A and B are shown apart, each in its own frame.
Chain A
Amino acid sequence: GQNIDQPTEMTATEGAIVQINCTYQTSGFNGLFWYQQHAGEAPTFLSYNVLDGLEEKGRFSSFLSRSKGYSYLLLKELQMKDSASYLCAVMDSNYQLIWGAGTKLIIKP
């Protein structure tokens, strides 16, 4: 079966760094996405990785290791507005997105 695992909830302090991990087992791989979702809103795109390595975009970075079926989203200089759910999604061989359950990130002052 297809499976995406990520922690249910994480807590971090404003100004700090947090890493949200995602492991996956899917039928085929056409890229991995990270989305941010605030409560009651649709997800917004953060990053897309299809090759191994680190992609940096401002305060957010995303890493992928295809051989390990592993990705992480790194958030630096955390701000209160970063409190949200972070969804990991993998595009399988049929170009369908397989979604993780999301990680709720709580930022404390």
Chain B
Amino acid sequence: GAVVSQHPSRVICKSGTSVKIECRSLDFQATTMFWYRQFPKKSLMLMATSNEGSKATYEQGVEKDKFLINHASLTLSTLTVTSAHPEDSSFYICSARETGDTEAFFGQGTRLTVV
């Protein structure tokens, strides 16, 4: 299957700082990327959908100014958590899909801890 690489796998940051998470499709062109957040023992919560070259579409309740998503190329999307607070601590997962494909491939996830 296709490979999606997400980096970093774990990050600890101080409250008030910003953290960038990268999601790369290694062997296919990801025209659509999805960013999810997962709380402990909960299912995946879709945060936003991004299509290459256009602005991300955010789900209701997700602050676009806090969770900045950039999908500037067909192989890279980034999620920046700005002015992070302890309540932003969570597991963030990206997935990527190629045009015409129904299956999306997941990155390894990023465990963010804000202290």
Residues of A whose CB lies within 8 Å of any CB of B are: 30-31, 33, 40-45, 48, 50, 87, 91, 95-97, 99-102, 104
Contacts and interface: CB of A to CB of B under 8 A. Distances in A.
A102 B34 contact: no
Nearest to B109: A42
Interface of B: 1, 6, 34, 41-44, 46, 49, 91, 93, 102-109, 111
Contacts of B111: 40
Given A31-B102, A48-B102, A101 B108 contact: no
Contacts of B46: 96-97, 99
Contacts, number: 43
Contacts of A31: 102
Contacts of A40: 91, 109, 111
A104 B43 CA distance: 11
If over half of A's interface residues share one DSSP class (helix, strand or loop), that class is named, otherwise mixed; here it is: loop
A45 B2 CA distance: 11
Given A97-B34, A99-B43, A101-B43, A43 B106 contact: yes
7 closest cross-chain pairs (CB), A and B: A42-B109, A42-B106, A101-B43, A99-B43, A99-B44, A102-B43, A42-B93
B1 A100 contact: no
A96 B43 CA distance: 15
Contacts of A102: 42-43
Nearest to A98: B46
A72 B91 CA distance: 27
A95 B102 contact: yes
10 contacts: A30-B102, A40-B91, A40-B109, A41-B109, A42-B107, A50-B102, A87-B43, A95-B102, A99-B44, A102-B42
